[in-house]
Structure 1
């Protein structure tokens, strides 16, 4: 059995404004209705695969389980990283955890944000790598290049690529300049580095011991002292913070001698920019891709996307342009500048704009909320609570709240009084009073919340009881 290990972090910069640090691209349905994370998990289910192990952070843990449940997947261990330390420590933690239960564990490590449309072809490629794994090889997967791409690293093969088996890997090549990229494609023995790996857990641990020994103690202690929290496994924060932040390529793969590559000729993209989303989406007869409330008039090779029910995006006479609209931000750029979007995020961070990192819909374990209007002494939100879910018992120092139920039924606790509030009814929560909101029904409950007071920030909260065991001061 192969244990899939899905790496689920992300900074959310290259597909801004749809992807943000608080809600990166793997959780967003970029192409079709399934998210990249859900598609990644579905790709590695079925005969020969055990339940996936997921590595993510505390903010994403409930999003991970919610999205897996939506596609009928029951995950294996979900390891919570106290802070991002890149892929090296993450993979080592996954391997050490797997070895606790199975000394012969085989791991398939994959990012959660890649697009691979042909699941069958991918699973076939994985099977072709198992023979090399049985010989102690660390197997990576290379994509047959279609053009001289400068946004990807490359793999130089030791032998000519063979479709039916793994071949020796000669070296890794960093992201090249355009001329070098084109020459490597023409040479025929270079593949794009997909960042997907297959190996026995014991062999990758041995590789870390040989090539990155400084990671062994802190990561090992973080795994050994991990604590269970509501079904998640929290890695111990103190030793984890000591571990170097380094990719698995730099830590191990570029130094190891027992490397093989399985060539993969199927479609693949890491969707590393809006130009990639445009290329992978079905266009109209003039090469335009429109998503959501978007209309192209006399445009050519243009991406128009609106993820806002309030905004219609209309392009007239555009060529090679990408325009992406959210409720709180709009990106307009030449398609050739797709890799510069992260510079826009950096500029927004520098000026303190919350749009740089904060997604307009704020996801919580119990559901989500969206700020509709924010003023100097008030805020209006739409709040969606999942069936059976409950917000924490809490109070606020600086604001009172009015709740108007527009869908479903809310069970509201204010101090010692419990009230059922149904559609088109409202309730008032005075400043300082302990209160809780629950959805006792089997359908989502939606309400409009009007906050009034001297401060309406998310950190004005005192939490007394929380079924999700969040820390004092955490949001929601």
Structure 2
């Protein structure tokens, strides 16, 4: 069986302010065709002998992954929670050990969750070519045929042919300078390192044990601690702290003598920056990529991205990235888009929250939008999905007023349980044990007004929770 192993641990800092720690780029709809995570799942659907996927995701994003799997119609995926970021070597090892529990002969198609592939037919043909090699014991990577002298990617130099559509890997090359990248493009023997792989789970574990035994031993020790938590396989965090950090390239692929590369031209992009998204997008007559409510006059070769209910207008500018969200706006030259990560680092050093969370925060039960806040009050718009329930909780420092805008709310407040409909409201006193549930078949929307001496999200004492957060 061919098992897609989807790596979904990225933090997405280079697409700030749209992508942030609590909602990274793989879970965003950046191209209008579903999220990158869902597109990754979809492109495996027509591959031969396909088994349910394994998804390796961070604990913070577990409900995002589960919800988007459900939206994609995939009910039988295995979701493995990676407690700490340890790079691709350990993440793939976790997936491989999980796959071997299903099938000792399992084949793994390793795919990052945040890549874009515009042409799926050549991708499918490349996978079929890689399958033949993987069944013969090769560890196969996919090399993207370059169409420009790109300095932001690593490269793979091809060696002797292995049949008509694959090559032995000559060597892996770090990100080059521009002159070297131009030489690679001219000589035609180097491909971009895509970070996609195909091999049997057993062969990867065998080679990892040969070249990085400490990593394999630590991942094995952590893997045996995995326990079932709702729909997730949760690996013990303390055990995983002993796992060395390392990429699959450094741990295995650069050392093994059984590395093969299948060249591939499929409209691939890692969407690693706003300029990469501009390159991959559909442009208007002036070369602009425009998303959301935008207006462009005498404007060329720009990326303009506006959030809901907000007009972004550009006049007389060229080669800019302008991205607007409810709480932050980015303006950058397209050539400087790789430096956006430095903005995120500066926000972190300054102790600001915009590097990690959006104004709209996703929760397993729905979402909330912080509309207004001051020293002793905060106003939120809360959306609760049909049938969903917030935790049974209390607060030490704030009281809350709830006003139903649409839908039906079931409210628990201390020893009372009652229903509220549209335009009805209630008051939750400080210290009261309370819960909110949507018993209906339509979304519940309400306005919450908080008042008190402290309004932080850490002033929540969960007494019971359907999502295992109590």
Q: TM-score scaled by structure 2?
A: 0.98
Matching residue of 1:422:
421
Q: Does 1:259 find its partner at 2:262?
A: no
CA distance in 2, matches of 1:69, 1:457: 31
Shift of 1:453: 0.3
SS at match of 2:14: coil
Deviation string, structure 1 residues 147-168 (Cα, Å, up to 9, x no partner): 1100111000003697x53211
Q: CA deviation at 1:425?
A: 0.9
Residue pairs, 1:444-455, within 5 angstroms: 444-455=443-454
Structure 2 counterparts to residues 233-248 of structure 1, below 5 A: 233-248=233-248
The Cα offsets for residues 313-369 of structure 1, whole Å up to 9 and x where unpaired, read as 110000001100000000001111010000111111111111011122211111111
Q: Is 1:323 matched up with 2:313?
A: no
Q: Deviations over 1:91-127 (max 9, x none)?
A: 0111111112211110011100000022232122111
Q: SS state of the match for residue 185, structure 2?
A: helix
Which piece of structure 1 moves more, 48-57 or 66-75? 66-75
- Whether 1:124 aligns to 2:137 is no
The CA deviation at 1:182 is 0.7
Q: Which residue number in structure 1 is paired with residue 94 of structure 2? A: 93
The corresponding residue for 2:281 is 281
Q: Residue 65 of structure 2 aligns with which residue?
A: 64
1:474 is aligned to none
Is residue 368 of structure 1 aligned with residue 350 of structure 2?
Answer: no
Deviations 1:409-460 (A, max 9, x none): 1100001111111111111100000000000011111111110000000000
Aligned to 1:398: 397
- Equivalent residue of 1:262, what SS? strand
Residues 1:106 and 2:107 aligned together: yes
| Distance in 2 of aligned mates of 1:339 and 1:325 | 18
- The CA deviation at 1:73 is 1.9
Distance 2:32 2:231 in 1: 31
In structure 1, distance between residues paired with 2:76 and 2:176: 37
What corresponds to 1:269 in structure 2? 269
Alignment partner, residue 351 of structure 2: 352
CA distance in 2 between counterparts of 1:55 and 1:105 reads: 17
Match of 2:218 in 1: 218
CA contact (8 A) 1:308 1:325 kept: no
Deviation per residue, 1:235-270 (Å, 9 max, x gap) = 122221100111111111111110001111111000
Quote the residue 1:141 is aligned against: 142
Q: Could you tell me whether the CA contact under 8 Å between 2:161 and 2:168 is conserved in 1?
A: no
Whole-angstrom CA distance in 1 between matches of 2:110 and 2:33 = 24
Cα contact 1:65–1:75 (8 A) shared by 2: no
Write out per-residue CA displacement over residues 377-408 of structure 1, whole angstroms, 9 at most, x where no aligned residue. 11111111111110000000000001111121
CA distance in structure 2 between the aligned counterparts of 1:146 and 1:257, rounded to whole angstroms: 28
2:190 equivalent in structure 1? 190
CA distance in 2, matches of 1:118, 1:416: 58
Name the CA distance, whole Å, in 1 between partners of 2:415 and 2:33. 43
Conserved? CA contact 1:159–1:189, under 8 Å: no
Output the aligned Cα RMSD.
1.2
User: Partners in 1 of 2:212 and 2:169 — Cα distance?
Assistant: 20
Matching residue of 1:173: 173
For residues 387 and 100 of structure 2, the distance between their equivalents in structure 1, rounded to whole angstroms, comes to: 37
